[in-house]
Every structure is written in C-alpha cells, then in structure tokens.
Amino acid sequence: CDYTITIKTGCVYLAGTDANVEIILFSLSGVVVRYSNLDNKNHDDFERCNTDVFHIKGLCLSEYDKICKIIISHDNSGAHAGWYIDWVDVSSSSIDFATHFDIGTWIEKDNLSYIGDKCNL
C-alpha cells in the first residue's frame, strides 16, 4: 500500500537538518511500517520552514485500521544535525485515512527521536 508522509520543519533558527531521517509507523492492529533514510532525490529535505512530502510503500492495513503512532528519528549526522519538527501527517489513499501529529520539539543531541502516540485516544 502507498503511504504519504508530510513533514513540516519549524521556522526557528537552525531548524533544518542534514541528518538521515527514519520513520516507523504503527497501526491500531499492530502493523508496523519502517522506512529508513527518508529522502527526495535531488532535493534538500528538512530545511527550515519547508514542508516535505514522501511517498512510501508498506504493508496494507485493513479497512478499519489506521496509523496511530509514529517514531521519527535521525542519526545525528551532517552539519547542523539538530532538527525542529513542527508536525507530521501520515495518510493513505489506499484505505482513506489521515493522522496528524503535532510535535513542536527539537530532535537533537541526547534526544534523537520523537514518539507520537494516539493509539489510546
């Protein structure tokens, strides 16, 4: 199935990152979709104030399932590895769902991942 990941990098000073970014998606039923090194070829992703869209493939969810949890992280590589993420949207036209995660935090140094969990809401 096809998933669309939309990531908004914050507009604060030095918000962008050159690090390698990974995202793990979790569904209500326990399906896990892991994607390492999110990257749009020939484009400088995760720059300050940018909104980046990624199209990935993964296991299909059932009709009543949806993505309810994400773990987004980076490997702290490259110049200016710290990254301020405003929000992440995950959607799929295959089963018609969209989930929004307000993040509003830095992913840097000793905190190289963010967990957004809406599974119990």
- Cα separation, 23 vs 25, in Å, equals 7
* Mean of pLDDT values over 87-96: 89
- Cα separation, 71 vs 69, in Å, equals 7
Q: What is the pTM of this model?
A: 0.93
Q: What is the pLDDT of residues 60-80, one digit of tens each?
A: 888 888 999 999 999 999 888
Indicate if the pLDDT at residue 111 is higher than 90: no
Question: Residue 118: which pLDDT band, with cuts at 50, 70 and 90?
Answer: very high
- Cα separation, 111 vs 76, in Å, equals 10
70 strand-pairing partners: 25, 116
Q: What is the pLDDT of residues 11-59, one digit of tens each?
A: 999 999 999 999 999 999 999 999 998 988 888 899 999 999 999 998 8
Confidence (pLDDT) at 43: 86
- Cα separation, 18 vs 28, in Å, equals 32
| Domain regions of the chain by residue span | 2-117
What's phi and psi for 80, nearest 5 deg?
55, 60
Classify domain 2-117 by CATH number. Answer: 2.60.60.20
Cα angle 85, 57, 91 (rounded to 5 degrees) comes to 50
Indicate if the pLDDT at residue 10 is higher than 90: yes
Confidence (pLDDT) at 25: 96
76's tokens: 């702290």
Beta strands in the chain (DSSP E): 2-9, 21-27, 32-35, 51-57, 67-74, 83-92, 97-107, 113-117
